[in-house]
Chain A
Amino acid sequence: MAAETLPGDLLAARQKRAALLFMLPAMILLVAVYAAPLGYALKASFTGWLLTRPATANIFVGLDNYTELLSSPEMWSAIRVTLIYAVAAVSLGLVFGTLLALMLDADFYARSFFRSIMIIPMVITPSVIGIFWKLLYEEDSGVFNAVLQAVGLWKVAWLNLDMALPAIIIMDVWQTTPFFMLIMLAGLQAIDRNTVEAARVDGATSLQLFRYVMLPHLVPYMLIATSFRTIAAMGDFDKIWLLTSGGPGNRTTTVTIFAYKNGFSAFDIGRTTAIAWILVAIVLTASAPLLVRLFRSAVEER
């Protein structure tokens, strides 16, 4: 503590002023691209603004957009789809990622090669994934059905009413499993090897080893990975938009897709900004534990 504050209030004040100058460009950019548009959106969400009728921009409707949305089945369907998508994709990603991390933690040949190629899906451009998975899912010409038929199973209409939501979840699990794998692997490698050895010498089975030695240690890593991924999943747009465009009907219309459609197809600015603000509220609530954790560790560190 003492070391960082050089003698004299003058120096401390000068240091603060320098800090402000260093932060200024970042503050200006964040205000221009985030704070101002968010404020603008908040104001617009209280109006009945339709882009096709400019005169409507100043019609103040109070909370009407919000009350209308919160009683509309479409909005609740979008919230439901978003939650199912996020929860299912994140849990499956966590399970597969943990299994792969355990497998990577073993001793085998060309380990770093396998580790490297396994992260490919995670970084491929999401719009490429959306476009390409649509081709893979094609009912008659897609390779997934070809494989299913080759092993004696039946064709699946992947993008129909019942399968579309599972289909976008499968696509997301495919893409994000390496994310979980890498974080869980980092967790596994931080375990004290002596503890594991000691447990093994004491006769613990592999399952017991995982349950009582590794799992407790991995929980914080799981929380971090799931928090980050849940927040991101709730904002996912590109893959879903290109695979299903929210359809069929509104079966895969997440809140993000719902907001986009209202904004750029219906040009209903009042409504789309209200949806966006509802989503911000949901995401910030969901990310509160992670935010608090990151904030605390930043403020409290030595």
Chain B
Amino acid sequence: MAPFVSHGGELHLSNLGQLSLLQGMTEKGASLRTTVRGFSMTPFIRDEDVVTIAPMSGRPPRVGEVVAFSHPDCGRLAIHRVVACTERGWVVRGDNCPEADGVVGIEHVHGRVVAVERGGRTVRVGLGMSGRVIAALNRGTVLGRWNMLRLLPRRAAGFALRHAQGLAAFRTVGRRVAPGFGIAVASEADREVVHRQHNPFMPYQRSAPDPHVTNWVAKVGPRIVGFVQLTNRPEEGSGWGGHWLFSLSVQPRYRGLGIGDALTQVVVDRSIADGAPDLRLAVFEDNFRAVGLYEKMGFERTTVAALEPGFLEEKAASGRRRIVMQKRLGRNG
């Protein structure tokens, strides 16, 4: 590798970084080819599709076109469809969004999507004439209802799977026949994937590494199917000091295969290696599946006085009560 310049294949531009680069392209009258993140334009533009954004070159957007624009509320770069034209500007909306973003003036439109690639192939549906049809449908509720119908079979299958995962026979057989998984400390790219799995409409923000936080992911092949976090902050009276397990999650279709057990165990093992006297976690009292898992792994209910006022306030607001569970890690743990 050359000493002064490096190929940026691993560089993940933030949303504002992409916006800045797009503005640089626009100033030169050039197009930008870049990967899009998120699900707001599904199914016509999907997460990780590659789009080419051409400058507007002085011409106004047209209804049906997909445009790259600065969001009127937050200034972030978004790529959504023009669904109507008003006196004040253009109404833009994601094909998969329940509401329009608002009215966008020409000064906030940075380009229009002229090509979409998925898996190395050009995708034509959603641009050109079909874009105008989608915009017409999206002005009302037709597209939203169509999306609900489209997803109905998948939701039914998910419902059946969730019930099967609760059966001991499913877990026994599943652990024998399911593809193997591995657990590794999460990279920045892994964390971005996890963020998008849990917050599909929120842009990922890079953050500086925190020496008090370790994240792990469970993978089946290249696919991330589970996540867990360990924090080991010093005691400061907040109640969250010491070793805490957070954010244990397993993708729905991979539950019942021992991945949650394995992720919990890796946090337990690290805490023991750190010499921690105990490991704690907070869980909603009515999350019976999770509470059952933790009890099986040796956690018991406990109380952290400093956290109780916040938990009670949370219950008053949301109706759900969190509890603390603790696993002793000493010789008698």
A, B: real partners: no
Residues of A within 8 A of B (CB): none
